[in-house]
Structure 1
Amino acid sequence: MPSRSDDPVGAALAHAATLIAQDVRALAAANPVVLIDGRSGAGKTTLAAELAASWPLAGRVQLIALDSLYPGWDGLDAGVDRALEWILRPHGRGMLGTWRRWDWERETEAESHAVDPSLGVIVEGSGILTAATAGLGDVRVWVESAEDRRKARALARDGDAYRPHWDRWAAQERRHVERDDPRTLTTRIIEIP
C-alpha cells in the first residue's frame, strides 16, 4: 500500500481535513454545519469522509452527499434547493429535518432520512455554496482542482455511468460558479493537485 507521501492528492485531502477540523473546533459549537463545494472530481466526497472520520467534537457527525439528493442528471440546482429546505433550514432552527434519497436507477425518490439538529452536519456536493446556504454554514469550503485532473478522477471513479453525462453536469457547475461565485462565500479554499 502506498504511503500518503506517494499520493499527493491523498496527502492534500488529509491535510485539508485537519485544517477544517481545527476550524470546527474553533467554533465552540456543539452542532456546527460544514458545507463543502467544488466541481466534480475535485475531492469533496473524500474530504468529507476524512473530516467525518476525524470529527473533532464529542458525538457523531451527520454526513450527507448531495449526490443522494440531486433528482437526476439535470438536478444540480434542485438538489441544492432540497438540501436548503430539508436539511439546512430545519437544522438552523433547531428542528428535526428529513430528506429523501434520490434513487438514480429508478429515477424517483426513495427512503427518508432524519437530520438531528443537536448534531453537527457535513453537506458536500457541487452547488452547495450559494447566498442562501452560506448563512447557514459555519464552515464553508471550496475545493479547487484542475479540470483535466478532476475529470480523470471522476471518470476513474464512476466510469461509463458518468461519461455520457460529464458535459451536461459540467455546464450546470459552470452556471453555479458564474451565478453564485462560491469562492467568495467560503471560510476556506482547498487546492488539490
Structure 2
Amino acid sequence: MGKVGVIVSFEDLAGAVRRLSPSCGPVRVVAVDGPGGSGKTTFAGRLGRALDAQVIHSDDFPVPWDEPPAAWFTHVREQVLGPLAAGEPGRYRRYDWVRGAFADWVDVPVAPVLLLEGVSTARRTAPAAFAVWVEAPRPLRLTRALARDGAALAPQWHAWMRAEDEWFAADDTRARADLRLDGAAVPGEFVVL
C-alpha cells in the first residue's frame, strides 16, 4: 500500500479500499487490529471519515478482563457480520463500560465499507477485505491505556497485554496484515512499517 517510512495518506488509502472486492456480502470490511493503546481507534476514526464509513469498536462490546481478547468477536459475528453477509442490515447493543450495562442499539446498514476496530478484528476467520495492523512500543501503549482508564487498572492491563501477546502469536495477525503501521512514530500520524 505504500513505501516503508511514509506517513499514511488517508485519502489514497480510502480510494484503494473502495476498489477492493466486497468481503462480507456486498460490504468491504476493513479490520484495524493491533495491541491495546497502539492507536487503532484514532486510525480507524480517520479512515472512517475518509471513507464516510461506519466504525464498530471492540469496546462497543463487553470483554471481561479474565476472558481472551478475542471473546467479543462472537457478538459482532452473530449480530453484524452474519446479517451483512446475507445482504441484510445488522444491529447490536452497545455496551456502556461506565455503567457496566448494555445501552443503546446501533444499526449497521448494508454499506460499501464497514470498519471493525479492536483486538482480534483481523483474525484468520474474519471476512476482511483489508487488514491493518497498528503497533507502538509497549511502555507507550500502557501509558496511553492508563491515561484513558486510570492507574488503578494497571494490574488488569498487564494481564491483558500478556493475553494479547498470546492471541497475536497464535493467530499470526501481524504477518497477515495488508498494511502495518507505527502508531507512535509521529504524534497523530501513522507511518508505514
TM-score bucket of the superposed structures, by smaller chain: 0.7 to 0.9
Residue 8 of structure 1 corresponds to: none
Q: Answer yes or no: is the 8 Å Cα contact 1:155–1:162 preserved in 2.
A: yes
Residue identity (%): 31
Structure 2: unaligned runs, 5 residues or longer: 1-5, 186-193
Residue 5 of structure 1 corresponds to: none
Q: Answer yes or no: is the 8 Å Cα contact 1:31–1:120 preserved in 2.
A: yes
The whole-number CA distance in structure 1 between the counterparts of 2:143 and 2:112 is 35
Q: Pick the aligned partner of 2:97 from 93, 97, 104.
A: 104
Q: 1:103 to 1:157 in 2, by over 3 A?
A: closer
Q: Answer yes or no: is the 8 Å Cα contact 1:72–1:107 preserved in 2.
A: no
Q: Pick the aligned partner of 1:21 from 14, 27, 30.
A: 14
1:39 aligns with 2:35: yes
Task: Kindly state the Cα deviation for residue 150 of structure 1 after the two structures are TM-superposed.
Answer: 1.6
Aligned-residue CA RMSD (Å): 2.3
My pick for the range that moved more, 63-72 or 151-160, is 151-160
My pick for the range that moved more, 120-129 or 85-94, is 85-94
Residue 72 of structure 1 corresponds to: 64
Q: Deviations over 1:30-53 (max 9, x none)?
A: 742111000011110000111112
Task: Kindly state the Cα deviation for residue 161 of structure 1 after the two structures are TM-superposed.
Answer: 5.9
1:181 aligns with 2:172: yes
**One-letter amino acid of the structure 2 residue matched with residue 65 of structure 1:** H
1:159 aligns with 2:150: yes
The whole-number CA distance in structure 2 between the counterparts of 1:125 and 1:16 is 21
Give the TM-score taking structure 1 as reference length. Answer: 0.79
- SS of match in other structure, 2:133: strand
Q: Pick the aligned partner of 1:126 from 85, 94, 119.
A: 119
Give the TM-score taking structure 2 as reference length. Answer: 0.79
Q: 1:36 to 1:19 in 2, by over 3 A?
A: farther
Q: Answer yes or no: is the 8 Å Cα contact 2:70–2:119 preserved in 1.
A: no
**One-letter amino acid of the structure 2 residue matched with residue 171 of structure 1:** R
My pick for the range that moved more, 115-124 or 20-29, is 20-29
Q: 1:19 to 1:156 in 2, by over 3 A?
A: farther
The whole-number CA distance in structure 1 between the counterparts of 2:110 and 2:131 is 18
